[in-house]
């Protein structure tokens, strides 16, 4: 658990900034403080929250708000499928609770460490994962509450969203340590840019899918070349 906390700690600063921005955005969108607090605790998904807020402010129907939030968070289906072998022996209640607490940065630090493990579902893996998700939840909720408190004070002209994007980039860049990851990031970025006008932020889902496919393709190409080189040698 301590190792998990150490692994995720560099990303907590960016997560905190993003939480403050989301808290401010909820208040600016017209939610009362109790409503914003409830949304932070129940939804716990910055991208889904920021997607839903403009629709709520515009008076969109509830089904459209839920649909937009689900579409933005469909990437967690991919994350969940990858994490399933590590937690399939747990009860559905525990898996549901871990799913609620899961965030992108936890997945990012967990998979490189245990993806190639011969045995999946060990106590070490479970506690490492818990060590990544619990601090993330505490940091997010604390930062979100701070943003809610500051929402009536911070002017829109400060453009906090841009600061949050920079923080996320600072969190992501240290993890680009191989060609598959680099190609995945480039492919995702290009896809997100080309699809930015798609409705309901479907471009975000497309960017995740394209990035995963590009990364897997690059990794397989590298492995194939290594195999050919060994065969020739």
Percentage of the chain exceeding pLDDT 90: 41
- Cα within 13 Å of Cα(211), Cβ side: 19
Q: How confident is the model at residue 159 (pLDDT cuts 50, 70, 90)?
A: low
In angstroms, the Cα distances linking 92 to 22, 95, 96, 136 are 30, 5, 6, 22
Q: How far from chain centre, in Å, is Cα 150?
A: 24
- Cα within 13 Å of Cα(183), Cβ side: 15
Q: Do 211 and 185 meet the contact criterion of CB atoms below 8 Å apart?
A: yes
Q: pTM for the complete prediction?
A: 0.76
Residue 185 or 133, more confident: 133
Q: Do 159 and 120 meet the contact criterion of CB atoms below 8 Å apart?
A: no
Mean pLDDT on 75-94: 92
Q: Where do the DSSP E strands lie in the chain? A: none
């Amino acid at each position: 658990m301590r190792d998990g906390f150490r692994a995720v700690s560099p990303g907590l600063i960016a997560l905190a900034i993003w939480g403050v921005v989301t808290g401010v955005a909820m208040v600016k969108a017209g939610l009362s403080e109790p409503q914003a607090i409830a949304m932070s605790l129940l939804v716990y998904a910055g991208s889904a929250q920021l997607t839903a807020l403009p629709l709520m402010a515009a008076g969109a129907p509830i089904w459209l708000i839920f649909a937009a939030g689900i579409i933005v968070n469909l990437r967690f289906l991919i994350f969940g499928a990858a994490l399933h072998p590590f937690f399939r022996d747990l009860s559905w209640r525990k898996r549901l609770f871990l799913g609620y607490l899961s965030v992108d940065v936890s997945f990012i630090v967990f998979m490189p460490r245990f993806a190639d493990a011969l045995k999946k579902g060990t106590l070490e893996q479970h506690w490492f994962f818990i060590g990544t998700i619990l601090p993330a939840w505490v940091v997010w909720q604390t930062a979100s509450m701070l943003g809610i408190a500051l929402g009536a004070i911070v002017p829109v002209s400060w453009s906090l969203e841009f600061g949050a994007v920079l923080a996320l980039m600072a969190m992501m860049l240290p993890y680009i340590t191989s060609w598959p990851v680099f190609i995945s990031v480039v492919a995702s970025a290009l896809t997100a840019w080309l699809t930015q006008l798609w409705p309901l932020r479907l471009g975000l889902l497309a960017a995740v899918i394209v990035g995963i496919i590009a990364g897997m393709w690059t990794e397989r190409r590298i492995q194939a070349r290594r195999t050919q080189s060994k065969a020739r040698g």
